[in-house]
Amino acid sequence: MKQLTLPIPDDEIRALQVGESVALNGIMLTGRDAVHKWMIETFIKKTRQPQGDDLEVYEAIRPILDGGVIYHCGPVVAGLETGDYKFVAAGPTTSIREEPYQGDVMRHFNLKGVIGKGGMGAKTLQACQEVPGVYFHAVGGAATLIAQSVKKVHGVYKLDFGVPEAMWVIEVKDFPVVVTMDSHGNSLHAEVASASKEKLAELLST
């Protein structure tokens, strides 16, 4: 298993190939639907004006995302009352929901990796080639096990979005993922979809 430390340099991203197992180490950010929509509307397409703490949060997350990764995750978090946060469960969310946003977010923040489950589409794959970046597939159904890789919760932004939708700043050690979309235009998800379609056509023709 290849060890990678965040932030990840371009040469290390380009060296990754689909099918490689990777252990991630360092600081990363969680973000799902509300976060991606907020990023796009407020700072990329600028269809809404920054409000409240938007600008402060933007300046805080930029250095985390520059060369970093975003994790599609809606965690279960203990310690909400005291602020002594601890991840109880940290399984991946289905990533295709972020397909309309992800490529633009990657380009804007120089994001090198996206973690989730199920893969993403052509727009994200194109961004992976341009930025460059990769899609890391995390194991679905292993939320408690993955949470053990989260060694510390450094803080949270946009908690008003709700616990699952907020941006949690987490420190991970040996976070297990597999590269399923690389910076060379390869996607295991596209390959599986194509092979499945061919197999289905074959079965229906018999």
List, in sequence order, the alpha helices (H) in 74-172.
99-109, 122-130, 143-147
Contacts of 166 (CB under 8 A, 6+ apart): 30, 35, 156, 157, 158, 159, 160
Of 36, 72, 137, 189, catalytic: 36
Q: For the CA atoms of the chain, what is the radius of gyration?
A: 17
Residue 104 · residue 80 · CB < 8 Å: no
**Partners of 150 in beta bridges:** 172
DSSP string, 153-174: EEEEE-GGG-TTTSEEEEEEEE
The CA-atom distances, in angstroms, between 142 and each of 38, 63, 66, 172, 174 are 28, 29, 28, 16, 15
> What residues does 187 pair with on adjacent strands?
181
Residue 105 contacts residue 188 (beta carbons within 8 Å) = no
Distance between CA atoms of residues 78 and 132, nearest Å: 35
Q: Assess whether 189 carries a catalytic annotation.
A: no
Q: What amino acid positions are annotated as catalytic residues?
A: 36
